[in-house]
Amino acid sequence: MLIETKGLKKVFKSRGKEVEAVRGVDLAVKEGEVFGLLGPNGAGKTTTMRMLSTLIEPTEGEATVCGHDLARDAAGVRRDIGYVGQAGGTWGEVTAREELVMQGRLYGMSKKRAQARAADVLESFQLSEYADRNVKTYSGGQKRRLDIALGIMHEPKLLFLDEPTTGLDPQSRAHMWDEVRALRDRGTAIFLTTHYLDEADALCDRLAIIDHGEIVAEGTPLALKKEVAGDVVAVGVTDRAAEARDLFDAKDFVREVEAGEPDPATGVAVLRLYVDDGAAALPELLRTLDGASISPASIELHRPSLDDVFLKQTGRSLREEK
């Protein structure tokens, strides 16, 4: 295990009030995997990452990172990890090459070694062309690539990425995903935070969903979704939503019904039915509605998404938060 935490907790004190940002997190990250921490803003993702990367001290709990005890051997942790914060960490008036060489030297490389490694890294991140220009002239995507390049300058076993694609255009975002996969394929484990469902789904080998400072689910994206149900049928009804809900609830093949609030504009309330086989369930569901003379406003059948997982665990949709 590259990361193992036990009851990791962080309490911030501000103006006499105590805020529990992270309330006892247990995590395990394996070698060579992309591990995602998915959750809405303010869920405690960044705080957890900042604790694991030695930037802030946990209030309680224990953690081992790359074999080093977080509390006793922060220096050991720092040697073996790379970290790329949300802000990135480059300065506009410096060139990419200068920053990379400096970064290498901060990790104890000789000047010669740092220069050689910087040239390699610039090449592999397609930055050679701009290497000797000041960072302030870079595009968002180029700057983000440099941020990551700085993070892996010393070939860490584990790279922390805090919201790596926030603020990037779709193309740069796709590039970033490729970079992350390429790093993983070369043996670097990645720990990233994200509030994008598609990113967690497509990029992460395993993930944990965090809400209000607590892990609510953990597993591979597939397993998490399977746990929710084989399929989700979303039925929109304009009135008698409670009645429809009870009817569906009584059916054996419906594992669970999640009733949403009626939309204020259209008056349509969406009932989400978790079923094993959507295609088989659909005719029966329609018959049930017909039998009670309830006419549906809409019916959708879809594979469960991570949002369904989040919704099931927290009762809220991650999508609505955005």
Partner 1 sequence: MKVVRDTWLVYSRAMKLNLKQPVWLIVMLVQPIYFLFLFAPLLEPMDGMPGFENGAMETFVPGLIIMMALFGSAFVGFGLIAELRQGVIERMRVTPISRVALMLGRTFATVSTTLFQSLALVLLAALTGKLDIYWAGVGLMLLIVMLTAFMLAALSLGLAIILKSEDAMGPVINTLVQPIMLISGIMLPMIMAPAWLQNVADFNPFYYAVQASRDLFAGNLGTDYVWQAPVILGALTILLVWWATRKFARAVA
Name the residues that contact partner 1, by CB under 8 A: 53-56, 75, 78-79, 81-83, 85-94, 98, 102-103, 105-108, 150
Min dist. Cβ of residue 135 to partner 1 (A): 10
In three state form, how does the secondary structure of the chain look? CCEEEEEEEEEEEECCEEEEEEEEECCEECCCCEEEEECCCCCCHHHHHHHHCCCCCCCEEEEEECCEECCCCHHHHHHHEEEECCCCCCCCCCEHHHHHHHHHHHCCCCHHHHHHHHHHHHHHCCCHHHCCCEHHHCCHHHHHHHHHHHHCCCCCCEEEEECCCCCCCHHHHHHHHHHHHHHHHCCCEEEEEECCHHHHHHHCCEEEEEECCEEEEEECHHHHHHHHCCEEEEEEECCCHHHHHHHHHCCCCEEEEEECCCCCCCCCEEEEEEECCHHHHHHHHHHHHHHCCCCEEEEEEECCCHHHHHHHHHCCCHHHHC
Q: Which is nearer to partner 1, 77 or 237 (CB)?
A: 77
Nearest residue to 49 via CA among 75, 81, 13, 95: 81
Min dist. Cβ of residue 29 to partner 1 (A): 17
Min dist. Cβ of residue 79 to partner 1 (A): 5
Min dist. Cβ of residue 275 to partner 1 (A): 46
Min dist. Cβ of residue 140 to partner 1 (A): 14
Q: Which is nearer to partner 1, 94 or 299 (CB)?
A: 94
Q: Which is nearer to partner 1, 126 or 134 (CB)?
A: 134
Q: Give the distance, in angstroms, between the CA of residue 187 and the centroid of all CA atoms in the same chain.
A: 20
Q: Which is nearer to partner 1, 83 or 248 (CB)?
A: 83
Min dist. Cβ of residue 274 to partner 1 (A): 42
Min dist. Cβ of residue 149 to partner 1 (A): 12
Contact 154, 135 (CB under 8 A): no
Min dist. Cβ of residue 66 to partner 1 (A): 13
Q: Which is nearer to partner 1, 7 or 92 (CB)?
A: 92
Q: Which is nearer to partner 1, 10 or 245 (CB)?
A: 10
Q: Which is nearer to partner 1, 78 or 175 (CB)?
A: 78
The pair of structure tokens assigned to 20 is: 């529990």
Q: Give the distance, in angstroms, between the CA of residue 163 and the centroid of all CA atoms in the same chain.
A: 7
Q: Which is nearer to partner 1, 108 or 267 (CB)?
A: 108
